[in-house]
Structure 1
Amino acid sequence: MSFLELAQKRYSVRKYESKPVEEDKLVKILEAAKVAPTAVNYQPQRLIVVRQPDRLAKLQKAANIYGAPLAIIVCADYNAAWKRPHDNKNFADVDASIVTDHMMLQATELGLGTVWVGHFKPDVIKTEFNLPDQVEPVNILVIGYAAVDSVPTDRHTDRKPLTETVFYETF
């Protein structure tokens, strides 16, 4: 499968089987995170793997995880990230997002479904998962086997034409 085919196959799964994700698949997903590029290779991502039922219940206090058996809280350590010297832009959240994308696509290649959750209560995550002050939860990557009746929403294929999003040489 080509990269473009893999990217087109992926969709936001919002209904999962209760079947756990195998350890070898989780390790491959985490290896994909490890090789993701980050600014100046500082690797400020901090990943919290959540798969125990009591911990998943704590996570559900902060976000809808759609009954998935596995979630990875993707965090950014702002003290460990590169800052662009011209304006002091901290790249921790950008790096965490790149890492999430790598994990999401690896999971898809392994036959797993995912959904990138950005709608969550960060204060609950910080408290329930003991995050230090400089570490921010950026997103939650929910992972598992898609339920048989899980299908992409219409938004999955509703894309703007390139003429609306791509500019050549100047805006």
Structure 2
Amino acid sequence: MTAADQLDGQFHGAVENVVFELYHPARIAPTGANRQPFKLLVIQEAEGLEKLKKAANIYGAPLAVVVCGDHRKVWVRPFDQKNILDIDASIVTDHMMLQATELGVNTVWICYFNPAVLREEFQIPDEYEAVNILAFGYAAEEGPSPERHDKARKPIEDLVCYEEFK
């Protein structure tokens, strides 16, 4: 069972008292060349949450943030033209997740969504890409034990190599 399975429809309570504190880390998150090529689309009103459900399962969360990246502003690595929009958006998202954990708020990182529906429902401009959605709320039940990673994850020896790639 995944954390998302555990939370399906299980969020409860509002998070209004900590909303600003959740976004602040995004503003100070490191991005390529400090360009901050993102915009956070905050969805917390009932109408917006219903529109969002057309594109993604947000597990009954009372608050969701669509992390959008701006293709005009992102830094591109000059050696191979790698666009790091996904990396920047991931750093921003991770910073918000860590802050939420610090505040006792649960999160689900969502990449399984229909971007065309998001674009249409929320009038996201063409130069922006919805990279992911972060759902926030308080879980109705305790989530799975962190010890599950001992069995569900690869051993560290399979993930780390030293001095040369093996």
- Asked if TM exceeds 0.5, the reply is yes
Question: Which of 125, 128, 139 pairs up with 1:132?
Answer: 125
Aligned to 1:47: 40
1:160 is aligned to 2:154: yes
TM-score of the aligned structures, taking structure 1 as reference length: 0.87
Displacement, 1:156?
5.4
1:21 is aligned to 2:15: yes
Aligned to 1:170: 164
Distance 1:118 1:156 in 2: 22
Higher share of residues assigned strand: 2
TM-score of the aligned structures, taking structure 2 as reference length: 0.89
Distance 2:15 2:132 in 1: 20
Question: Which of 74, 80, 84 pairs up with 1:81?
Answer: 74
Distance 2:16 2:74 in 1: 31
Q: 1:26 to 1:85 in 2, by over 3 A?
A: same
Paired residue type of 1:168:
Y
Return structure 1 stretches of 4+ with deviation > 6 angstroms: none
Paired residue type of 2:93:
T
Displacement, 1:20?
1.1
Q: 1:44 to 1:61 in 2, by over 3 A?
A: same
Give CA-to-partner distance per residue, 1:39-92, whole Å, 9 cap, x none. Answer: 110001111000000000000000001111000001111111000011111111
What is the percent sequence identity of the aligned residues?
A: 50
Q: 1:153 to 1:123 in 2, by over 3 A?
A: farther
How many residue pairs are counted as aligned between the two chains?
158
Q: Give the secondary structure class of the aligned counterpart of 1:66.
A: coil
Displacement, 1:152?
2.3
Q: Which blocks of at least 5 consecutive residues in structure 2 are unaligned? A: none
Displacement, 1:132?
1.0
Give CA-to-partner distance per residue, 1:6-47, whole Å, 9 cap, x none. Answer: xxxxx6562201x21124x11111101111110110001111
Q: Which blocks of at least 5 consecutive residues in structure 1 are unaligned? A: 1-10
RMSD: 1.7
